[in-house]
Amino acid sequence: MGSTVVICHYHEVALKQKNREIFEKKLRTNIAFMLSDIVKQNMVMRGYGRLKIVLPFSYEDSEKVEVVKSRLRDVFGLTNFGIGVATSLDLEKICEASLKVLRNKEFKTFSVKTKRQNKKFPLNSIQVNHEVGAFILEKFKNEGHEVKVDLKNPEVTVHIEIVDKEAYVYADRFKGPGGLPVGSSGKVVALLSAGFDSPIASYMMMKRGARVIFVHYHSYPYTSYDSIEQVKQIVKILSKYQFYSRLYIVPIAEAQRIIVLNAPVGLRTILYRRLMVKIAEVIAEKEKAEALVTGESLGQVASQTLRNIRVINQIASLPILRPLIGVDKEEIIQKAREIGTYEISSQPYDDCCSFLTGRHPETWANFEEIFEVEKKFTWNELVEMSLAKAEVENIYADFLDKNIVEKIED
Ligand code: ATP
Ligand code: MG
């Protein structure tokens, strides 16, 4: 019997010629990363508007099949995928394969759905449906199991895809997450705290195909080391989607002290934010990233008013993307539960933003006042002194052997 395969589908409609090439290559590379401890990269193949993964174990090995399934559910760019077997272009073999993929299932009704890309195959799709359907009915009947064809609402569907040199047969079909393959849209730098929002904002950017570089600011030793540990754990979780991540850990206490010396208490939070943006832009340039990302959501806290957002933007030359701007906290928390950052983000942590800021930060900052304060120091100095002590850490998805990162490339 033919090999165990996964047949991966993606939406190509919106893809133009060149983009499609990039998209498919990235998707293939990313699947190879996601399954790097299970299959060799050359077992992930492109062709006929789909990707085929040849698995090195039998279709009956349900435990291993389960691992593959749970991994592929998190590969951005996949619309759906089927796990089954490949056969030669031979009706008898296709019938046998159909039986095989039904063996581990309990069902009373089924249907057969064939897609024939190879028009040279002697039977058309409808004829294949009929032949295979009749074969299944008879086999099950002989074994004493009465099953029926139900085209409208079948409990299982046998999918048959006929391409140039082989046919794929599967009855297990799963939804992928959609989106675009990570890396197909370029790079961004995300400002990551240990809170709920910025990890979800980063996740959303990855889902739209961006590779995310992370930067975390802290005021250690004035605040505890906890936020740093928490952020590392969050990056580990997020690395599931982009396999390996770079995290910049930047101490800003010294720069904050200079701001504190010069700014009234109400303006400090917003000045810290401007500092964060300034530093992130230097990192973005180094990393060749096109934009910054934050977890801000309109009106969620005092610092996230329209005016403050405007004041924060004013210091940036790169676009600041805010995927959560119109999203409610409830939804953000729901997503955090789904992807597994909730537990970490709900632990208390000292935030560098509250370093000597008092209880009432300015909610509608005034440009004149901000510019007045900023005359008393130079941003470049503050940025440089912070970056001079920055640490950079590479963090890998837990299933990934880091030595493999250089080996897998598109
Ligand atoms: P989050 O849940 O992401 O911390 P928040 O609702 O707590 O967001 P703020 O603390 O006002 O909001 O932060 C707004 C945004 O600024 C964050 O979403 C994040 O992108 C960025 N940010 C805040 N603190 C830090 C930090 N210590 N390091 C890096 N970025 C930060
Ligand atoms: Mg926060």
Domain ranges of the chain: 4-175, 187-409
* 3 state DSSP class of 46: strand
pLDDT of residue 410: 61
Q: Do the domains 187-409 and 4-175 match in fold?
A: no
Residues 5 and 57: their CA atoms lie apart, in Å, by 9
295 is in an annotated binding site: yes
**Tokens found for residue 347:** 């632990």
User: Which residues contact ligand 1 via a Cβ below 6 A?
Assistant: 191-193, 195-198, 215-217, 276, 294-296, 300-301, 303, 352-353
Q: Phi first, then psi: what are they for 4, rounded to 5°?
A: -80, 130
Give nearest CA residue, ligand 1 atom 30: 191
pLDDT of residue 14: 61
d(CA 158, CA 136): 10
Ligand 2 geometric centre to CA of 195 (Å)? 5
Interacting residues of 240 by C-beta distance below 8 A, sequence separation 6+? 74, 397, 398
Please report the pLDDT score of residue 222 as a whole number.
86
Distance 299 CA to ligand 2 centre (A): 14
**Tens of pLDDT, residues 158-217:** 999 999 999 999 999 999 999 999 999 999 999 999 999 999 999 999 999 999 999 999
Residue 300 has pLDDT above 60, yes or no: yes
pLDDT for the residue 1: 61
Of the CATH numbers 2.40.70.10, 3.40.1280.10, 3.30.910.20, 3.30.2130.30, which one belongs to the domain with range 4-175?
Answer: 3.30.2130.30
Q: Ligand 1 center to residue 197 CA distance, Å?
A: 7
Give, in order, the Cα–Cα distances in Å from 389 to each of 322, 351, 399.
Answer: 28, 19, 31
Q: What is the pLDDT of residue 95?
A: 98
Q: pLDDT-derived band of residue 402, with 50, 70 and 90 as boundaries?
A: confident
Taking residue 58's Cβ as centre, other Cβ atoms within 10 Å add up to 14
User: Across the chain, what does the average pLDDT equal?
Assistant: 94
CATH superfamily assigned to domain 187-409? HUPs (3.40.50.620)
